[in-house]
Every structure is written in structure tokens, then in C-alpha cells.
Amino acid sequence: MQDNYILLGVTGGIGSGKSTVAKMLADLGAQTIDFDILAREVVKPGREAYKEIVDRFGEGVLDSNKEIDRKTLGEEVFNSTEKRRVLENITHPRINREFYQQLESIRSEHGKCVVQAVIPLLIESGMRELFHRILVVYVPRDVQKQRLLKRDDLSEEQAEARLRSQMPLEEKCEYAHYVITNQDSLDYTGKQVKDFWRQLLLDLEGLGG
Ligand code: ATP
């Protein structure tokens, strides 16, 4: 049976404007699943993943409230592919389960609809097949760097290191069904988002259900 909803993956690079564009889409009527919130939820005290992480990585990854300190955990796994894999094997299946539960509840509430999920590493982590459409929010590298410097108060070197660690945005665009360029005014970005939204609604109309 053909799906009667559109699942849209919104991606891009660090600071390229994913949240900005997702907010515009949400204002136009897209339902939103926030992976960042899901990732935080599944490691809360009392959840299965919490216990497994503490068993595997020790109480040193907890903060003073006995909650998992994501920064400490991030540092713990940063330099070890093996540890990162262990952590991903604990969290990813739970995040996916929550994702599908949210998707089901959105669909039963809203029927035919567009559901977006913002996922920074969507392409790198091989999640393309999950989505009906992929939107890449693009900015040229120099603009991306300037925005990072401004927003995150980084040194040139730190900003460069972050950009270098990611797949270049030009490459990500090759996987996109749609690209929104976000190097100009927010107004111009908004115009592109509206055009894209109109296109999505036409596609949605064409679906059964
Ligand atoms: P990250 O994944 O790093 O959290 P992101 O891709 O979600 O970032 P945003 O947070 O939307 O990016 O935008 C990054 C920064 O650039 C923010 O400070 C935002 O206000 C600013 N910004 C976004 N779009 C524009 C624009 N068109 N003009 C000027 N500034 C912008």
C-alpha cells in the first residue's frame, strides 16, 4: 500500500540553517519530529538505555543529578570507533522505536500530512532510505564559517576543524531531492521554503488515502 503521508528529512551542515528552515516549514504546517529531543529522552533515568550506558561506561558519565552528562559521554566515545559503536548500538534502536511511535501518533492525529525530521548526519549515517524526500539546507563554506564564528564564539581554527570533520555541503546536495540556499536574507530563504512547501502539498494531494 502506498503511504499517504510525506516523510521529509531535513539536513545540511553545522550552522547551515536547518533549524531556521524547519521552523519555517513548521509554521507553514509541517509536523515535526525532533531527533535531538528523542536522543535526550531515551537516555533519561529509568529508561533501558540509561541502565545499559551506566553498566557499560560507568558512573563517571553521570552528572550530580545522576543524569547522563551527554558532553562527558560524547568526550568518552569521541576518539574510539569501538566505544562509539557500542553507544550507538544502545541508543539507535531506541531512538528509532520512539521515532516510529511518534510518527504513528502524528499520522493517526493528522492523517494526510507532511512530517519533517531534522537530522544533521542523515546522509552520513545511511538513513536516506527512511525518507520520502530529502531537503538539504545549503550555504557556501565561507558563509557557514562566518555564522559559526558568530554563533558559537569559536576561533578560526575550531570552526575550520568542525567544518573539516563533516561531509562538504556540495556533496550532500547530490543526495537531495530539493536544495534550499540560505546564504542570503531570511526573506529569500522564506520564499524558497514557501515554493518547496507548495510543491510538497501538490505531491501530498497526489497520494492516495
Ligand atoms: P546546528 O546544526 O549547528 O545547530 P543549524 O543548521 O540548525 O545549526 P541554524 O541554527 O538554523 O543552523 O542557523 C545557524 C546560525 O545562523 C543561527 O545563529 C541563525 O540565526 C543564523 N542564520 C540562519 N539563517 C540565516 C540567514 N539567512 N541570514 C543570517 N543568519 C542566519
- Calculate the CA dihedral of residues 7, 5, 20, 33 and round it to 10 degrees: -70
Considering only CA atoms, which of 174, 126, 110, 167 is closest in space to residue 144?
A: 167
Task: Kindly give the distance from the C-alpha atom of residue 182 to the centroid of ligand 1, in angstroms, as a whole number.
Answer: 9
Closest CA to 192 of 151, 115, 112, 136: 136
| Cβ atoms 10, 31 nearer than 8 A | no
- Residues in contact with ligand 1 by the CB-under-6-Å rule are 12, 14-20, 120, 147, 151, 182, 186, 189
The CATH code belonging to domain 1-30+113-204 is 3.40.50.300
**Tell me: domain 38-111, CATH 3.40.50.300, correct?**
yes
Higher pLDDT, residue 158 or 11: 11
Residue 42 has phi, psi (to 5 degrees) of -70, -15
pLDDT at position 125 is 85
Q: Is residue 87 over pLDDT 60? A: yes
Which atom in ligand 1 lies closest to the alpha carbon of residue 186?
Answer: 27
Q: Do domains 1-30+113-204 and 38-111 have the same CATH topology?
A: yes
Residue 1 confidence (pLDDT) above 60: no
CA-closest candidate to residue 11, choices 148, 198, 185, 169: 169
List CB contacts of 68: < 8 A, sequence separation 6 or more: 43, 44, 50, 53, 54, 61, 62
Summary mean pLDDT of the chain: 94
Residue 71 has pLDDT above 90, yes or no: no
Q: What is the pLDDT of residue 47?
A: 95
Task: Give me the residue spans of the domains in the chain.
Answer: 1-30+113-204, 38-111
List pLDDT tens digits, range 43-65.
999 999 999 999 999 999 999 99
pLDDT at 9 over 90: yes
Q: Which amino acid is at 190?
A: G
Q: Which three cell numbers stand for residue 150?
A: 558568530
Task: Return the C-alpha cell found at 4.
Answer: 499517504
**Measured from the CA of 137, which atom of ligand 1 is nearest?**
6
Measured between alpha carbons, how far is residue 93 from residues 107, 119, 147 in Å? 21, 16, 33
For residue 168, how far is its CA from the centre of ligand 1 (angstroms)? 17
pLDDT tens-digit map of 135-155:
999 999 999 999 999 898 888
Q: Is the dihedral of CA 165, 131, 192, 150 positive or negative?
A: negative
Model confidence over 153-164: pLDDT tens digits? 888 998 998 898
* pTM to 2 decimal places: 0.90
Per-residue pLDDT at 42:
96
